[in-house]
């Protein structure tokens, strides 16, 4: 999976970083109150987001010149729509969507993250969004439901709105994150596993899934050319 560019976010897992930003987007006030704090993170999307969603508790961080905004789970769809539609921003391309499991990661406060890599083709800008999710049910191998049961009976802590209605290219990327991590994307037009099979029962990129699997390779049925 691609690199998680926001590992040093405040409130997120990761070590100390000299460019770490204070919590939320109230960076100007924090700089005035603490002159020793690093300079404010600059990005053309930050001020518009703060103005448009004054009640949302965003976090912002920068790592290797990539700016990430942590978005509350319940706000991801409206934030994504705004970033795509606002003429001064126009993030019209979802270049990347991936999942991360922070189990046993030093300092982690959340279990899972979903990263959205956005590109504004008209303005030549890039921005990352992140949503954190925490399971309320057991995540051990073999506990996964069948695809058709996930939306209704799946873990409520791992449900987040699909962005396929904003960026149609999210369809297969969300399916991969669902398959590998068990994140349930509500409103997805075809939420099925894309790498493993329906009924597999596990999510292979979770950190509590054994590196050698749980017997799939040893018990895998070999189909010969003659018997196919």
The residue that leads in pLDDT, 212 or 203, is 203
Residue 61 CA to residue 25 CA, distance in Å, equals 10
Residue 215 CA to residue 60 CA, distance in Å, equals 42
Q: What is the pLDDT of residue 123?
A: 97
Q: What is the pLDDT of residue 3?
A: 41
Note the pLDDT tens digit of each residue in 36-53: 545 689 999 999 999 999
Residue 98 CA to residue 106 CA, distance in Å, equals 20
Average pLDDT on 14-27 reads 41
Which of 102-106, 164-168, 209-213 is predicted least confidently? 209-213
Residue 126 CA to residue 118 CA, distance in Å, equals 6
Q: What is the pLDDT of residue 24?
A: 45
The residue that leads in pLDDT, 111 or 12, is 111
Confidence of residue 95 (pLDDT cuts 50, 70, 90): very high
In sequence order, what are the residues at sequence separation of 6 or more whose Cβ sits closer than 8 angstroms to the Cβ of residue 31? 37, 39, 40
Note the pLDDT tens digit of each residue in 122-166: 999 999 999 999 999 999 999 999 999 999 999 999 999 999 999
The residue that leads in pLDDT, 91 or 26, is 91
Q: What is the pLDDT of residue 39?
A: 62
Q: Which two tokens stand for residue 117?
A: 């890599």
| pTM of the shown model | 0.81
Q: For the chain, which domains are there?
A: 27-219 (3.30.460.80)
Residue 23 CA to residue 21 CA, distance in Å, equals 7
3-state secondary structure of 50: helix
């Amino acid at each position: 999976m691609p690199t998680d560019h926001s590992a040093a976010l405040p409130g997120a897992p990761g070590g100390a970083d000299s460019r770490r930003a204070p919590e939320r987007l109230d960076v100007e006030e924090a700089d005035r109150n603490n002159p020793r704090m690093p300079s404010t993170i600059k990005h053309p999307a930050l001020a518009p987001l703060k103005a448009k969603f004054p009640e949302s508790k965003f976090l912002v961080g920068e790592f290797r010149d990539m700016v990430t905004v942590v978005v509350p789970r319940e706000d991801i769809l409206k934030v994504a729509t705004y970033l795509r539609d606002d003429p001064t921003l126009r993030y019209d391309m979802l270049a990347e969507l991936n999942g991360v499991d922070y189990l046993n990661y030093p300092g982690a406060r959340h279990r899972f993250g979903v990263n959205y890599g956005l590109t504004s083709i008209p303005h030549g800008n890039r921005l990352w969004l992140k949503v954190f999710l925490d399971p309320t049910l057991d995540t051990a191998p073999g506990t996964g439901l069948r695809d058709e049961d996930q939306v209704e009976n799946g873990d409520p802590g791992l449900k987040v709105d699909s962005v396929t209605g904003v960026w149609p290219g999210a369809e297969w990327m969300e399916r991969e994150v669902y398959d590998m991590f068990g994140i349930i994307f509500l409103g997805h037009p075809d939420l099925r596993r894309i790498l493993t099979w329906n009924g597999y029962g596990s999510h292979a990129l979770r950190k509590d899934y054994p590196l050698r699997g749980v017997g799939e390779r040893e018990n895998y049925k070999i189909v010969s050319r003659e018997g196919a």
